[in-house]
C-alpha cells in the first residue's frame, strides 16, 4: 500500500512539474481539458497532483496533447 501511495504521489508531482513548466494555472488547464472533452473540475485536478486521486487515461491522453510530451514524462521517477 505504501508503495502505491508513493507511485501516486510521484505521478502527481510529475503532473505539477509539467503544468508549471507549461506556465498554466490549474483552472486554465481544466478549461483546456474540458474543450478536449475531459469533464474535470479544478478541485479534481488538484487531487491528481496531490496523488489523492488516480488520473484517468483519457486525461493523460489530453494532457500529452496539450504539453506535447511523451507518456514517459508522466511516469518519471517511478520504480518499476
Q: Are 18 and 70 in contact (CB under 8 A)?
A: no
| Domain 2-72 architecture | Orthogonal Bundle (1.10)
Confidence band of 77 (pLDDT split at 50, 70, 90): confident
Q: Are 73 and 14 in contact (CB under 8 A)?
A: yes
Q: How far apart are CA 58 and CA 19, in angstroms?
A: 17
Output phi, psi for 68, to 5 deg. 50, 55
pLDDT over threshold 60, residue 4: no
> 19-47: per-residue pLDDT in tens?
999 999 999 999 999 999 999 999 999 99
H helices present in the chain, as ranges = 2-22, 26-35, 42-50, 57-67
Amino acid at each position: 500500500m505504501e508503495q502505491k501511495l508513493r507511485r501516486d504521489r510521484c505521478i502527481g508531482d510529475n503532473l505539477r512539474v509539467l503544468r508549471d513548466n507549461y506556465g498554466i494555472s490549474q483552472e486554465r488547464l481544466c478549461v483546456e481539458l474540458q474543450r478536449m472533452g475531459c469533464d474535470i473540475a479544478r478541485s479534481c485536478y488538484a487531487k491528481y497532483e496531490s496523488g489523492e486521486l488516480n488520473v484517468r487515461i483519457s486525461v493523460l491522453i489530453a494532457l500529452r496533447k496539450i504539453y506535447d510530451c511523451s507518456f514517459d514524462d508522466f511516469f518519471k521517477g517511478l520504480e518499476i
